[in-house]
């Protein structure tokens, strides 16, 4: 019955209107109730039914509007991460064969190749590590919210940038050079 | 670093940081990361290359794609690259690999750095990170991302905590309009060697994860390197 597009933007625009008509809904309900009471004997059951239906619809509309607004709040994906899906693409063994690598037991290592797909945001995050490259595990930063996105890849080769960042350096005393 | 980047993004969203100050903020984060790297390698604790990670040629590099609402920035340091696919169906390298050319050497010498030019592979073969010069004094060098392994720093240049090193600041480009971006690919480490020509790898991105991951992996592994990538398909994004 209510063909509103309940998008986030529209909900925001409808809210002031909803707030504006709420007193009128109450007024209409009050008038209808008073009328029915004063003409209780004469009031046809159809009027009572119509008033009940109208009140229910109005209440339902407002409830749905409020609910839609709440659901349309910006989602902080840091708190509600998108559905993650590990995709097996059959490269683990191939990677090992390419690197001709096995563990001491002669078996292929469990993880040489990781693929992580964050399906709801279209982000695919991939790391590769070969045994002879076991010191070169990189780290990534993926943060996705409505307002901002951070896609960062940091080479972890013998240096983990996020592992120990507590004391800011006295950078103004350093000789900075922009290599380009 | 993740927390710092998130905080920076939030401050940008709330407009606590003026656009003209953004570059300084991001550089400060990289500087702190570099300082953390330096602290991991005490100056007098040169590791044995036989039983330790190959720290003599170790390094670090980073690339970062940052979207704030409808704009984006590209931040790159060292041997990494950010690439975008635009509405004109073109792949564009949004960042520039940090090479090591003669101009750089000249500039560094002017600043007092000692550069072994014969050992510098000009025009490529760059790698990032930290380096001990085991041929002389107990000096501490920093390779490409924060220097280059062929660079020996004069001990007069002191880092905090008594370390010696070289800092580089990242390139910061932007803002660019997000409306024109359909795909983003950030590649880290070894891209100058592994992906001098991205034309073979990039078209596979449009074929889906299985195709491009395989292509990227094979291309990187052919150079004996690992690789990390993030691909963002904006045509699939639900958040607007």
A 81-110 residues inside an 8 A Cβ radius of B: 87, 89, 91, 95, 98-99
Is residue A107 a contact partner of residue A92, using CB atoms and an 8 Å limit? no
Residue position matching structure tokens 């190959």: B54
Element (H, E) at A94: helix A92-99
CA angle, residues B35, B41, B47, in degrees to nearest 5: 165
Tokens of B40: 């991991």
How far is Cα B224 from Cα B166, in angstroms, rounded to an integer? 27
**Contacts of B221 by beta carbon, 8 Å cutoff, 6+ apart:** A95, A98, A99, A128, A130
pLDDT band at A163 (very low <50, low <70, confident <90, very high): very low
Q: Which of B124, B120, B144 has its CA nearest to residue B193?
A: B124
Chain A: residue nearest B191 by CA?
A155
Contact B31 A169 (CB under 8 A): yes
pLDDT at res. A42: 55
Measured between CA atoms, how close is B239 to chain A, in angstroms? 6
Asked if the model's pLDDT at residue B75 lies above 50, the reply is yes
Q: Which of the residues A153, A163, A173 would you substitute to probe the B interface, choosing the one with the greatest number of B C-beta atoms within 10 Å? A: A153
A157 to B128: CB separation less than 8 angstroms, yes or no? yes
Of B60, B108, B228, the CB nearest to A140: B228
The pLDDT value recorded for residue B228 is 74
A155 vs B53, B59, B96: nearest CB:
B59
Residue B156, phi then psi, degrees to nearest 5: -70, -15
- Higher-pLDDT residue of B19 and B100 is B19
pLDDT at B146: 41
Residue A126 touches chain B, beta carbons under 8 Å: yes
Lowest mean pLDDT among A132-141, B116-125, B132-141, B182-191: B132-141
Shortest CA distance from B96: residue in chain A: A180
Q: What angle do CA B109, A154, B34 make, to 5 degrees?
A: 45
- DSSP-derived secondary structure letter, B142: E
Residue B131 contacts residue B57 (beta carbons within 8 Å)? yes
Structure confidence at residue A71 (pLDDT): 61
pLDDT value of residue A165: 25
Query: Is the confidence at residue A174, as pLDDT, over 70?
Result: no
Q: Which of B27, B53, B226 to mutate to test the interface with A (most CBs of A within 10 A)?
A: B226
B86 to chain A, any CB pair closer than 8 A? The answer is no
Per-residue model confidence as pLDDT tens digits over A60-117 = 788 777 777 766 654 444 444 445 444 333 334 444 443 333 444 444 444 445 555 5
CA distance B83 to B129: 22
Residue B80 has pLDDT above 60, yes or no: yes
Mean pLDDT of chain A: 54
ipTM: 0.71
In the sheet that B71-77 helps form, which strands lie side by side, from edge to edge?
A139-144, A148-154, B62-68, B71-77, B171-177
Minimal-distance CA residue of chain B relative to A96: B221
pLDDT for position B167: 45
CA A80 remoteness from chain centre: 6
Taking the C-alpha atoms of residue B59 and residue B69, their distance in angstroms, rounded to an integer, is 33
Residues of A in contact with B39 (CB under 8 A): 164
């Amino acid at each position: 019955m209510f063909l509103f597009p309940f998008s986030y933007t529209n909900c925001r625009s409808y809210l002031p209107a909803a707030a504006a008509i709420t007193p009128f809904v109450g007024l209409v309900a009050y008038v209808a109730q008073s009328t029915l009471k004063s003409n209780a004997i004469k009031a046809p059951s159809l009027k009572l039914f119509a008033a009940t239906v109208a009140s229910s619809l109005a209440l339902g509309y407002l409830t749905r509007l409020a609910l839609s607004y709440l659901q349309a709040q910006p989602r902080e994906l840091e708190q509600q991460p998108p559905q993650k899906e590990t995709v097996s693409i059959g490269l683990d063994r191939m990677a090992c064969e390419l690197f001709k690598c096995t563990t001491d037991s002669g078996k292929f290592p469990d993880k040489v190749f990781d693929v992580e797909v964050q399906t709801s945001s279209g982000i695919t995050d991939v790391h590769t590590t070969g045994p002879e490259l076991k010191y070169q595990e990189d780290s990534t930063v993926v943060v996705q919210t409505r307002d901002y996105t951070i896609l960062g890849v940091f080479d972890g080769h013998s240096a983990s940038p996020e592992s120990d960042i507590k004391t800011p350096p006295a950078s103004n005393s350093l000789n900075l050079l922009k290599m380009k | 670093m993740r927390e710092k980047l998130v905080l920076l993004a939030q401050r940008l969203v709330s407009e606590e940081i003026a656009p003209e100050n953004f570059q300084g903020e991001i550089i400060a984060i990289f500087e702190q990361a570099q300082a953390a790297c330096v602290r991991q390698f005490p100056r007098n604790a040169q590791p044995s290359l036989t039983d330790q990670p190959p720290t003599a040629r170790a390094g670090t590099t980073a690339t970062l794609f940052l979207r704030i609402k409808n704009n984006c920035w590209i931040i790159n340091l060292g041997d990494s690259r950010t690439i975008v696919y635009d509405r004109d169906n073109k792949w564009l390298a949004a960042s520039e690999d940090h090479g090591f050319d003669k101009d750089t050497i000249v500039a560094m010498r002017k600043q007092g750095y000692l550069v072994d030019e014969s050992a510098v592979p000009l025009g490529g073969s760059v790698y990032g990170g930290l380096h001990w010069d085991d041929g002389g004094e107990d000096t501490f060098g920093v390779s490409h991302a924060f220097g280059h392994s062929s660079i020996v720093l004069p001990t007069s240049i002191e880092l905090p905590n008594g370390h010696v090193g070289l800092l580089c600041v990242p390139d910061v480009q932007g803002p660019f309009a997000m409306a024109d971006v359909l795909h983003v690919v950030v590649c880290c480490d070894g891209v100058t060697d592994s992906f001098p020509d991205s034309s073979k790898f990039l078209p596979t991105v449009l074929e889906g994860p299985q195709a491009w991951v395989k292509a990227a992996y094979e291309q990187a592994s052919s150079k004996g390197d690992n690789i990390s990538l993030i691909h963002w398909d904006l045509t699939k994004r639900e958040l607007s």
